[in-house]
Structure 1
Amino acid sequence: MDKNKWHGLILLLVLLALIIPSHVIGIDRVVTIDEPWWVISGSNYYYALTHQDFEITIYDYHPAVTTTWIVTAGMLSYFPKYRALEQGYFDVRKPKFEDFMRANGKEALDLVRNSRFIQTALLLALAVLGYFLLQKLIDRTTAFPAIGLAMTAPFFLGHSRLLNHEGMLAMFVLVSLLGMQTYLNKDRKLIYLLVSGAAFGLAQLTKSSSIVVVGVFGLMLVVGLFKNNGQTFSAKFWDAVKSFMIWFGTAALVYFILWPGMWVAPGKMLAEVYGNAFSYAFQGARIEVTEQLQPSSFSLVTKFDGIALYLRSWASSTTPVTWLGLIFAIMIFFSKDKERLPAPIRSTLVYLALLGGLFIAMFGIAQGRNSPHYILSSYVCFDVMAGIGWAFVWMQLQNRWTGLNRAYSSILFFVVLIGVQISFGLPYAPYYFTYKSPLANQAATLGYGEGLAEASDYLAQKPNATEIRAYVYNGMGTFSFFFPGKTLVFKRVYLIDEDFATITKDMRNSDYLVLYPIVREKQPETEKILGALQSVNPEKIILINGLEYIYIYKIADIPESVYSELNR
């Protein structure tokens, strides 16, 4: 192996050494509110595959096929006999799946852990692929900080460690963009176009919102029509058409092969996915709620409130390392040092910014829920841009001070830089997604289930913990996966519907009440129960980063007056 290849291998190993620990340490210390849905959906998917019930391998508009494949792999590694027990399919809204697992000597948390490790391996593979594509596009020194900063940014790190779609979606989208950029503007080898198309197909299998990639690719092809490369316009046009057909055909093939539902009912699958996606975006709910797709009732939010909300969320959960890197990236467009700047660097920055901006615009304008993790792809695009910006500044410093050109000085600088990026997130571990930038008043994400495992640990230390009955707000999976006793789930809908008869009944049938006051601002209906208990001192208050997250009450300490007030 020649010196250049050794240098490349060392860089890759150092990059992985920086990335991997943050992605695996404490990976099973939190289960979020959404994850039980995907654990159960993935288990149902595994059962459907093994019983050839391919037509039900769908979860409306996501379609979440990659996520359910991850859980399927987790099942194969942990509980392969699950397919042979004739239990059928479990409702994602009920805890019966967890009861079934324990009845068979298995724990849902172990399935979550295995599935997360498998997902992490996939994300690392995508990071390596992105690194090689960026190395091909620009150079090795630039690819190192770009991928390193993106993979260790606290908000991305927090969500990519979870069993959800957003981390995989962001990396599939990034690889697809870099693959097509490499093919169109660096090296016209077919493999890059195929990689891009396959990544887009996987992105679509993950979440339909990745459709924005089509617009970016279309723009790239249009820009190519006006390049002066010696070809006639007609030749460039048909070349663009051919490139798009190969790219889209590859994506469609991957989509079809990896989704068994497409084998038996392609029309139903596509209608469910894209019908629900458009219904949710324009009407604020799934088709089963709106009853049918009615284009006449479509309405976009005319104000920029949604976009501003997402921009604030991004700013509040992004590190100063990324902010500075983005400023440095902008400086590239004004640099006159064309000899040391590879030709595709500016267009790569433009397309990354465009793709990140499109995700923000799409979710900001469309109706429905506004969760910051929906734009995780934007975070990744902007972090990659920041890495490119830092590489540019380092190049300028090397031009000014020749002593910085010594062997491995670049690696040392970028290792320190990525270390600083990691250090911003460490105080929030394992709840990296709650990271708050130094200038922000509040984190973009709070009350996503973090801390409830700590409540479980507290009660699990009590004598006869297996006999304890805990009534826990949003406790399905977030608490119950960790708790050896019996968990009764206090559902938010009980407060919305003011179903205090059910609430007081479940309280009387429990030993402990676990509430989640961190959400009281976003879920004002929780004040109905928190207000009734304001005169009762919790047995335990769990603090995270100085915030009161959880109140644990011993039911025996709650006076009868509280029940009377709730039922009044």
Structure 2
Amino acid sequence: MKNKTFQILGLALLLLVVILPSWLIKNDRVIDVDEPRWIIRGANFYYAVTHGEFENTIFEYHPGVTNMWIVSAAMQFYFPEYRGFGQGYFDALKMKFEEFMREQGKEALDVVRISRYIHSGMLAILAVTAFLLLCLLIDTKAAFLSVALAALSPFYLGHSRVMNLEGMLSLFALVSFLGLQVYLNKDRELIYLLVSGVAFGLAQLTKSSSIVVVGLVGLMLFVGLFKRDDRTLAAKIWDAVKTFAIWFTAAAVTYFVLWPGMWVAPGKMLADVYGNAFSYAFQGARLDVTQQLDPESFEVSSSGSGVFQFLQSWAASSTLITLVGLILALYFLLFGKKEDLPVPIKSTLTYLAILGGLFILMFGLAQGRDSQHYVLTSYVAFDIMAGMGWFYLWVTFRKKWVWLNRTYASILFLGLLIGIQIASGLPYAPYYFIYKEPWAAVPATYGYGEGFSEAADYLAQKPNAKEIKAYVYSGMGTFSFYFPGETVVLKRINLINDDFATITDDMRHTDYLVLYPITRVKQPETEKILGELEGVVEPEKVIYINGLEYIQIYRMADIPESVFEALMRKNKQ
């Protein structure tokens, strides 16, 4: 028993050694298009908490409270004086926060960097917790392999390296499931039930979409009613009700204690979070657009195309190790011998498949929520399954060839799989989320901010870079946090609305134009300006990533008057 404890602790430390470098190395080389808003919201959250204005601690319906606590901690460490200037709250869609920081001699990029270190620490704690819980359900080496493959999966790695919500959400959901699975099937210690409930509360504080975990919990408790033991059905029902009550109470207490807004205005907080979530899912927009929840207008996608698209994109952005491992897991789940896969292991595989499937089903049916990272929890669940699949293949081999039972053979096998998983993502570093299988036409995520740091670095090397004005498409934070000069944002809405009077005026008052042609398919309105430039004027610099044209940089002085005239002919404002 003592030796097993030391083995588990040793593997937990080794797990940190294996996964932490991927989260920490060059952790500031890409800022995605969503991240600057969360940095600003986090700074606003910090200001609200330090001024006791708890009713102002909701800035987005997700609600993203865990993220904002992390940014607040970074602000306290890096710039505690921030709370004392009386500047109030900044609009998360404007440049004022960044301008204010530079006026005080501070850089928003430093806040990002420190926040990501804290974020990585949180993810490491969650990964180790998931590993320890898995060790109570499956072989310790299988648990180690499964968590390592999940953490090092390029798509998950890319999204968990940035200050988005889904990286933490997926691990909170995983820990919540594993805690309850241990409680129901291995050890009825209260601590596991409380860990599960607290993790779910943290998942809800991160993003309301984790509500699907409630469905999984309900299913697990329902299945428990059919277990063969000496209890009566009434006793089983009472036990299920009591279990759910304790679990939900732990989640609710966590939700209340860690969100200051709940202390003073719980009704407002809950209405904003869940009202907007339902409005977006069933009416296609948030409440400030739809005005109210109208059940008669609720719609979901009935064609199944959304679900298929998520599954297709998942397959395209998962490694061969994951795909083969998942097939193996499903094979052993369906055809494995009982002595190899006892009931707790089979049910763990089954529930992981259901957890991953629920997220895909929810977003596949919801309106207007089609970004692949929304189902990051599915990636984690399927990667855990893949690790289990590979391990039980190894168990089968060891039974057939006795010499494979030697310790070094297992080390080589696990090391090879983990090494291949790491190697799969390295060609895409630091933009791991653009990983794709060779047969896929495009990555599941692209045009998400990758490449802008390289554009900023290019212009920053020019003489008097601090005096340069750059006009940048989607440049708030993605470009501006890196660039020492002035960034003027070319707003997508101006292209959509054909406001070329504003666009041409901004062009005439800046020095460089930075465009993002990688988005021309997803955002066809960008063609309105790209089409007038290409073939007429050569960009000073083109940035390629993995052979794809990502960024064009034009010197404004090189753009002929004919381009301005052509753009103005499109003006409708």
Q: Same fold (TM over 0.5)?
A: yes
Counterpart of 2:451? 451
Alignment: residue pair count: 568
- Aligned pairs for 1:119-198 (under 5 A) are 119-198=119-198
- Aligned pairs for 1:79-158 (under 5 A) are 79-158=79-158
Deviation at 1:246, TM superposition (A): 0.1
Cα displacement string for residues 313-334 of structure 1 (whole angstroms, at most 9, x for unaligned residues): 1111000100110111012124
Quote the Cα distance in structure 2 between the aligned partners of 1:439 and 1:394: 28
Deviation at 1:415, TM superposition (A): 1.7
Counterpart of 2:568? 567
The answer to whether the 8 A contact 1:168-1:206 is kept is: yes
Deviation at 1:121, TM superposition (A): 0.2
Quote the Cα distance in structure 2 between the aligned partners of 1:342 and 1:426: 37
Counterpart of 2:553? 552
SS at match of 2:309: helix
The answer to whether the 8 A contact 1:138-1:342 is kept is: no
Counterpart of 1:261? 261
Counterpart of 1:531? 531
SS at match of 1:105: coil
Counterpart of 1:494? 494
SS at match of 1:541: strand
Counterpart of 1:209? 209
The answer to whether the 8 A contact 1:287-1:293 is kept is: yes
Quote the Cα distance in structure 2 between the aligned partners of 1:247 and 1:180: 9
Deviation at 1:284, TM superposition (A): 0.5
335-344 or 459-468, larger mean C-alpha shift: 335-344
Quote the Cα distance in structure 2 between the aligned partners of 1:3 and 1:299: 56
Deviation at 1:12, TM superposition (A): 2.0
Quote the Cα distance in structure 2 between the aligned partners of 1:37 and 1:445: 19
Deviation at 1:502, TM superposition (A): 0.7
Quote the Cα distance in structure 2 between the aligned partners of 1:142 and 1:336: 16
Quote the Cα distance in structure 2 between the aligned partners of 1:384 and 1:377: 11
Quote the Cα distance in structure 1 between the aligned partners of 2:259 and 2:146: 32
Quote the Cα distance in structure 2 between the aligned partners of 1:352 and 1:180: 12
- Aligned pairs for 1:461-476 (under 5 A) are 461-476=461-476
Quote the Cα distance in structure 1 between the aligned partners of 2:499 and 2:378: 40
Counterpart of 2:70? 70
Counterpart of 1:542? 543
Counterpart of 1:482? 482
- Aligned pairs for 1:158-557 (under 5 A) are 158-534=158-534, 535-557=536-558
Cα displacement string for residues 39-61 of structure 1 (whole angstroms, at most 9, x for unaligned residues): 00000000000111111111342
Deviation at 1:440, TM superposition (A): 1.2
Runs of 4+ with deviation above 4 angstroms: none
Unaligned runs of 5+ in 2: none
* Pairing 1:40–2:22 present: no
How does the TM-score come out when normalised to structure 2?
0.98
Identity of aligned residues (%): 64
The answer to whether the 8 A contact 2:469-2:485 is kept is: yes
Cα displacement string for residues 352-401 of structure 1 (whole angstroms, at most 9, x for unaligned residues): 11011010010000102310000000000000000110110011111111
- Aligned pairs for 1:52-67 (under 5 A) are 52-67=52-67
SS at match of 1:99: helix
Quote the Cα distance in structure 2 between the aligned partners of 1:336 and 1:370: 36
Deviation at 1:408, TM superposition (A): 4.2
Quote the Cα distance in structure 1 between the aligned partners of 2:3 and 2:207: 42
Counterpart of 1:27? 27
Quote the Cα distance in structure 2 between the aligned partners of 1:309 and 1:4: 44
Cα displacement string for residues 434-465 of structure 1 (whole angstroms, at most 9, x for unaligned residues): 00112212111110010010000000011111
In the superposition, relative to structure 1, how do residues 336 and 302 fare at CA in structure 2: closer, same or farther (>3 Å)? closer
The answer to whether the 8 A contact 1:60-1:276 is kept is: no
In the superposition, relative to structure 1, how do residues 335 and 311 fare at CA in structure 2: closer, same or farther (>3 Å)? closer
Unaligned runs of 5+ in 1: none
In the superposition, relative to structure 1, how do residues 13 and 412 fare at CA in structure 2: closer, same or farther (>3 Å)? farther
Quote the Cα distance in structure 1 between the aligned partners of 2:388 and 2:361: 24
Deviation at 1:416, TM superposition (A): 1.6
The answer to whether the 8 A contact 1:318-1:436 is kept is: yes
Deviation at 1:18, TM superposition (A): 1.3
Deviation at 1:142, TM superposition (A): 1.1
How does the TM-score come out when normalised to structure 1?
0.99
Deviation at 1:411, TM superposition (A): 2.8
SS at match of 1:333: helix
Deviation at 1:421, TM superposition (A): 0.5
Quote the Cα distance in structure 2 between the aligned partners of 1:170 and 1:277: 18
SS at match of 2:126: helix
The answer to whether the 8 A contact 2:15-2:128 is kept is: no
Quote the Cα distance in structure 2 between the aligned partners of 1:135 and 1:376: 23
Quote the Cα distance in structure 2 between the aligned partners of 1:11 and 1:215: 32
In the superposition, relative to structure 1, how do residues 408 and 253 fare at CA in structure 2: closer, same or farther (>3 Å)? farther
Deviation at 1:336, TM superposition (A): 5.0
RMSD between aligned alpha carbons?
1.1
Cα displacement string for residues 66-109 of structure 1 (whole angstroms, at most 9, x for unaligned residues): 11111001111111111111110000110010000010010000
SS at match of 1:472: strand
Cα displacement string for residues 262-306 of structure 1 (whole angstroms, at most 9, x for unaligned residues): 000111111110000000000010000101111111111111111
Quote the Cα distance in structure 2 between the aligned partners of 1:163 and 1:516: 22
